Structure 1
């Protein structure tokens, strides 16, 4: 019998607590160091001691790295990719307990002294003794820990299937880690002549409502895109308001049409995307007080996807913007008529792509490139701010186009992915449900689109080039600080599946992990799933 480092529930729990203790908040030094610590940990596995070159880094920017660890079987080309992320969100909401946020055992004990601070559901779970609290316990270092235990066992027992453990930074922000890893997966596939059979993610089971006790598995992942707008009005002094038109006035018409707009809703497999909402709406002014009216504003909207491409979303966005612009123009002209003044113009709707071409014809490509580069060099702005600021600087140099709504996309973009109708996924779903019910008495429910956004969006891309070309052309930071490897994503042809631990309250102070689910049930179910796909005798059901 091979002695495994993480072969028992107790040892796996200790591994998780160690991984959690490696604080890896997004865009911190801990996120940078995590990949190196993980590599050292993986090198403790005998297979990787003998094959250290099977562990690789993939540059995700800002000194961060995605990590792949490749167990190669000599018997087959069939390969499963085990996907996780290791970054976490911040911990300020823990308040006086923040110093323990990354110490699950200690935090869980200390919460016994703070019961009066916990909501009823969290208090009930704490008192049950069945949950482990802490940042990253649920979302999602348990997935990584289980994958590490699986690849250790597979390499020790020489399972006749190839496994690629892939864990990435930055999932919580822009998925830079997964986007960087995609070309690496393609290179690995080509170098070793691998046949990718499944992309298996380990994201946790997310509740569908506050009191939802169900444990879910997922055969797809919902998409997300952010149609945005730069609003450009006409400046004036507050003492002469009718000499201009404020961007805030124009923006109010667009948001009233966009918020909760059912035209963006999609339904499939009896599941429905949440309605769109605004994530940001504010004017662009200097920080100091001024009596100049705000004539530039920015808006970002969150839209979820199932089947639609970026091109289709932009078509709906343009129709919505044109409706809003017409309503705004009509209302504004009526006010001007009432006040006996001439309007400064009708409200136009312009694609960012059109604005850039206009600016290049007017100013020259070199000047436009210089204006854009100046925005890109501002390290205090993220990709969303840069996108809107690029549109802003071009409009300030092409003011004759105003008043206008400039339509664009702001990062990130997560294409939807779904494998519910794939024959392998249908088999795995039924097998996993049966194993959970028979072995543990746990009923698993299938959801067709993982509703928490995941890195599965960047594999098995099924869209058309038209869909992504519209995104490229209307994302101002495309090709500089942000890009998506669409061509390589198309090469990663294999179904997707998500099987992770049960937990509650991801991104909250009460984030917690169900202990049996994480350390007993999940390792068994993942192993059973992998053996379903290989010639190894499945674990007893």
Structure 2
């Protein structure tokens, strides 16, 4: 693009980005609903009939999986040659139910802004005060999915519209909008897997991927106006605790699985051992996402099992490192709990009558328990396969399915409790960084240069950061070491039936960065987008970066 661009607003960029952001937002696409299914056909039709993108474009859709009605939407803008940049993002959103009596307006940004200002007239929390101030200043617009992340898709479409009018430009732009990011990233995973086939069919050399996901910033945009050169990874370590149930009137006769799970949860929460230190400071610490026992009805027996799982973000640590550290934390928590229970029992019953507690509680990985079950009885392998297939059809959350499968394997194994079985309970998200390959080095150079000249060209400072702070589809497009997933696959109970990771080609392994809009409070009724950045600066920044990458 013209390196002498001034910092003033570009009305065409603004109008196109705003138009698409409003249109995309008004079309509801909550994850797991018919709106998500219908969105792809509607978007493909709108892209085909729009006059924004010139005549040199192809539009098509493809399913996320055989028999799955959800579709990815692709639009290829051809400008000559083979070199291609991908602009991608998700179109599904979280539910609108949290808007309550404003749910009818949840996807109507202008109308919602008026209603929200009335609702926030007397704010009672700091978050509500900030939202009221933002909306009163007309710097932000609310709406479910506007920030996360339909404004990002709209900015990408605005950039493509600008590139379509370039008289001297070369290279191609492939736009891909995907479903299911708010659940298991089925859309991005399918798109990443199919990229080699798409490139071959359309004779493309894919040089880079730019993800368009949103960034949250509670201040004035310093942390929102960024180009992220990589993304964090996410793992979901799980712990199934098997206790020895007892009548609650005679608790010394057993060991309470719920109490053991609680001490594990307390030890892992914010544990330094699972928090990575970055050059810019500490990363996000681990946090408990769920803790429940296995009881399905009320009685006075202590829980026989309990299940906990944790959000663990990774930057450079491998899954085996995370699992090893997690096991060590569980062992430490259990040892301390046994020591405290012994001391309490002696204090209550005296040395003579205190219960005999085990010296330690063993910790198994799921793969150890599954192997023990198969070894115990020849038919157990079939039983476990049948159980996994049944769970895969029951529309349960993946962590819940993993809990039930782990319990099933434990019963078949013949192993004795008390014990803890650790593993993983979700689709893994790998951390990505730009490598030393030519395309990656060039993408980094372009991104750094765009940030360096941002104040002069766009009137505000845009920074480069090493990692996108949220979980995103970058994990499936970007450069990562897929071999690290072996331990995850062996210890995720429904890996084959639900996760269905496609062997060694589950990620695209293309240099990938994130350049998206910023705002505040997404996934809440206060979700709102900074419109000046999203509709004016972001489309211009994207068009410049794409053009520079293509001209590399």
- Fold match by TM threshold 0.5: yes
1:66 aligns with 2:64: no
The question of whether the paired residues in 1 share the 8 Å contact of 2:435 and 2:479 is answered with no
1:294 aligns with 2:310: no
1:450 aligns with 2:464: no
Q: State the shift of 1:446 in Å.
A: 2.3
1:390 aligns with 2:405: yes
1:483 aligns with 2:500: yes
Q: State the shift of 1:130 in Å.
A: 2.2
1:41 and 1:295 map into 2 onto residues whose CA distance is: 55
The question of whether the paired residues in 1 share the 8 Å contact of 2:433 and 2:479 is answered with no
Q: How do 1:372-387 and structure 2 match up within 5 A?
A: 372-379=388-395, 381-387=396-402
Q: How do 1:228-307 and structure 2 match up within 5 A?
A: 228-286=238-296, 288-307=297-316
User: In angstroms, what is the RMSD of aligned CA positions?
Assistant: 2.6
Q: Secondary structure at the match of 1:469?
A: helix
1:405 aligns with 2:420: yes
The question of whether the paired residues in 1 share the 8 Å contact of 2:518 and 2:530 is answered with yes
2:173: which partner in 1? 163
1:362: which partner in 2? 376
Q: State the shift of 1:94 in Å.
A: 2.1
Q: State the shift of 1:224 in Å.
A: 0.9
The question of whether the paired residues in 1 share the 8 Å contact of 2:241 and 2:420 is answered with yes
2:388 and 2:252 map into 1 onto residues whose CA distance is: 32
Listed as ranges, the gaps of 5+ residues in structure 1 are: 1-5, 537-541
Q: State the shift of 1:82 in Å.
A: 0.5
Structure-2 change in CA distance of 1:455 and 1:486 (3 Å): farther
Structure-2 change in CA distance of 1:37 and 1:108 (3 Å): same
1:217 aligns with 2:231: no
Q: How do 1:200-211 and structure 2 match up within 5 A?
A: 200-207=210-217, 209=218
The 10-residue stretch of structure 1 (232-241 or 353-362) with the greater mean CA deviation from structure 2: 232-241
The question of whether the paired residues in 2 share the 8 Å contact of 1:336 and 1:342 is answered with no
2:30 and 2:178 map into 1 onto residues whose CA distance is: 13
Select which of 125, 135, 141 maps to 2:144.
135
2:345 and 2:136 map into 1 onto residues whose CA distance is: 65
Q: State the shift of 1:517 in Å.
A: 1.1
1:374 and 1:534 map into 2 onto residues whose CA distance is: 48
1:473 aligns with 2:478: no
2:385 and 2:535 map into 1 onto residues whose CA distance is: 54
Q: How do 1:414-433 and structure 2 match up within 5 A?
A: 414-419=429-434, 422-433=440-451
Q: State the shift of 1:195 in Å.
A: 2.3
Listed as ranges, the gaps of 5+ residues in structure 2 are: 1-10
Structure-2 change in CA distance of 1:345 and 1:237 (3 Å): farther
2:187: which partner in 1? 177
Q: State the shift of 1:423 in Å.
A: 2.8
Q: Secondary structure at the match of 2:467?
A: coil
1:465-485 CA distance string (max 9 Å, x none):
2x2110000000101011334
1:194 aligns with 2:204: yes
1:526 and 1:220 map into 2 onto residues whose CA distance is: 17
Aligned length: 525
> TM-score, normalising length from structure 1?
0.90
> TM-score, normalising length from structure 2?
0.88
Structure-2 change in CA distance of 1:38 and 1:511 (3 Å): same
2:486 and 2:306 map into 1 onto residues whose CA distance is: 26
1:496-522 CA distance string (max 9 Å, x none):
211112322212222212222122111
Q: State the shift of 1:435 in Å.
A: 4.3
